[in-house]
Amino acid sequence: MKNRFVTLMLIIMICPSTMFSQEVKTSKELSLFEFLEQARSHDPQVESVLQQTMQVNFLKKTIMPDQSLVFQVSNQYGFGIDDTRKTETWEFSATQPIVSSGTNVVASHRINKQVDRKEKVSSISLEQSLYRNAFGKRDRNLSKRLDIENEVLLLQTAEAYEDYIAVLATSYLNWNLLHLQHTATLALKNESEKLLASIQRRQRMGTALAIDVEKIELEKLGFEENELTLNKQIIQERQSIEQAILMEPGSKIVPGPLPKTLLAMDGHEMEYAFLREHSRTRKALTLSQEAGQLNVVVKESDMRPDLNAILGFSYDDSTRFTTSTDRQQLFVGFNLSVPLGNQKKKGQTMQASYQEIEASIAKRRFEKNLDIAYRNQLEQVKQAHMAVEVGLKKWNLSTAIEGKERKRYEQGRIDVQTLINARQAQSQHQFSYLSLQIELAKTMIEWLRVTDQLVASQDQILLHEKN
C-alpha cells in the first residue's frame, strides 16, 4: 500500500478525456505533475518553505560550545613614576576545548622582564570538568538535543511543503474545472446552433413555430453568456497558476486531463497502524518530546557548581638577581565556581520543563485526533467516489432522455419547451458530474496530505521522479 501512493505518482497517470476544446490544439497542455514541478522551481512561496532547511547548517554551530583552538597574546609595558626603570611582560597561551569529553588543553608561555629579573615560565595543563559538564556529558546531551531538533526541522519543513503543494494542487483543479465547464459549454452551444438550424428549416416547412426558433435562440444566448462568464473566471484563476510558475500573463496554457489515480475507485486504503507508525507529524512530535527531555537535563546541569580538576606540567627558566632557575614540576589542583541564587538559570529550567510537558501533551492530542482524521477523510473519499458514480448515472440518463425527447419533438409529440427542459437538465447533470470529479480529486489530494503521501520521504521534501 505504501508504494501505491508514493508522492504524486498519481499525477502522471493520465486518464483520457474528450471534453477538451479546440483550444488545446493551439495551447500548451500543462499537467498537474508538470505544474507542481515547475512551481517547486519557480514559486517564491515554495522557495521560502524549502529555505527553512538551511537552518540545519548553522543551528547546532550557533549553540554548541566552540571547538576552535583559541590563541591569545598579551603585552604590558610599565614605566616608573619615581625612577626610570621599566618593566615588560608578554604572555602567550593556546586553549583547545575537547567538547566530547569536557576537557580543555591549555598551553602558555609567560615572559616578565624587570630590572633585576627575567622570568620565563612555560606550562601545559588539562582542565577536566567533574560535575556540571562531567566528562562532557552535558555537552553531549546538548549535541544530541540539537541533532533531534534538526531532524524535527526537516520533518516540519516537509509538512509545510506538503501543505503548500496541496494548496497549489487545489488551485490547479479549480482551473481545470473551469476549463472542463468551458469545453462542455462550447459543445452545448454548438448543439444549440445545430438544433436552431434544424428548427429554422422546419419553420420554413411549416412544421415549427417562430416561437420555437426564439426559444432555441434564447437557449443559445444563455450558453454564450455562460461562455463569457467562464472565460473571465478562467483568466482570473489562470493568474495564480502563472504566478506560481512565473509564466508571462496570458500564456497559452490549458490544464491536462485529470490523473487516473485521483479518480480511482479503489486502492486508497491504508492500514491505520502503518500510518500511526510512519506519520511525519507524529514522528516530529515524538522527537520534540525527546528533545524537550534532553533540554531539561541540560538546563538542570547548568545550575550545578562548576568543578574542574587540573593536571599539568610547568618549566621555569628564569633569572632572578643573577641567579638562574631551571625548575620542572608537575601540578594538580581544582577550580570551583558555585552559582548562588541564579534566578535566570532557574527560570530557564522551569521553562524547559514546561516545554517538555507541552510537547508530551501535543503528541497525545495528535495521536488521539489522528484516528479521527484518518477515518473521516477515508469516509469522505468513499462518499466522493459514490457521488461521482451517481453523478455519472444521472448524466448518462439525462443524456438518454434528451435524445428521446428530441425524437419526440421531431415527431411533433411534444413542444419545444419540453425539449429545452430536457436539454437544460442534461447540461446541469453534465456540469454536476464534472464538479463531482474535481471534488473527488480534491478529496484525494487531502487524503494523500493527511496520510503523508503527497510528497516523497526521500530527502524529506522532494517529489518522486516522473516515470
The C-alpha cell that represents 15 in the structure block: 486518464
pLDDT at residue 143, rounded to an integer: 93
For residues 321 and 117, the answer to whether their CB atoms sit within 8 Å is: yes
pLDDT tens for the chain, residues 1 to 467? 333 333 333 332 333 344 444 444 567 899 898 898 888 888 888 888 888 888 888 888 899 998 899 999 999 988 877 777 788 899 999 999 999 899 999 999 999 888 778 889 999 999 999 998 999 999 999 999 999 999 999 999 888 889 999 999 999 999 999 999 999 999 999 999 999 998 999 888 888 889 999 999 999 999 999 999 999 999 999 988 988 888 877 678 899 888 877 877 665 666 677 777 778 888 999 999 999 999 999 998 888 889 999 999 999 888 876 677 788 999 999 999 887 877 888 888 898 899 889 988 988 888 888 888 888 988 999 999 999 999 999 999 999 999 999 999 988 899 999 999 999 999 999 999 999 999 999 999 998 888 888 887 444 333 333 33
Q: How far is CA 56 from CA 48, 67, 157, 355, in A?
A: 15, 18, 11, 21
Q: Which of 184, 182, 214 is nearest to 200 (CA)?
A: 214
Note every long-range contact of 102-110, with CB atoms under 8 Å and residues 24 or more positions apart, other chains counting: 102/128, 102/129, 102/133, 102/134, 102/135, 102/136, 102/137, 102/138, 102/139, 103/127, 103/128, 103/129, 103/136, 106/312
Model confidence, pTM: 0.79
C-alpha 58 chain-centroid distance: 20
Q: Which of 103, 125, 128, 115 is nearest to 315 (CA)?
A: 125
- The Cα–Cα gap between 197 and 199 comes to 6
Determine how many CB atoms are found less than 10 A away from the CB of residue 147: 16
What lies within 8 Å, CB to CB, of 276 at 6+ separation is 282, 367, 370, 371
- What are phi and psi for residue 110, nearest 5 degrees? -120, 135
pLDDT at residue 17, rounded to an integer: 40
Over residues 31-75, the pLDDT tens digits come to 898 898 888 888 888 888 888 888 888 888 899 998 899 999 999
Q: For 31, left (φ over 0), alpha (ψ -120 to 50), or beta? A: beta
What lies within 8 Å, CB to CB, of 218 at 6+ separation is none
The C-alpha cell that represents 27 in the structure block: 495551447
The C-alpha cell that represents 227 in the structure block: 461562455
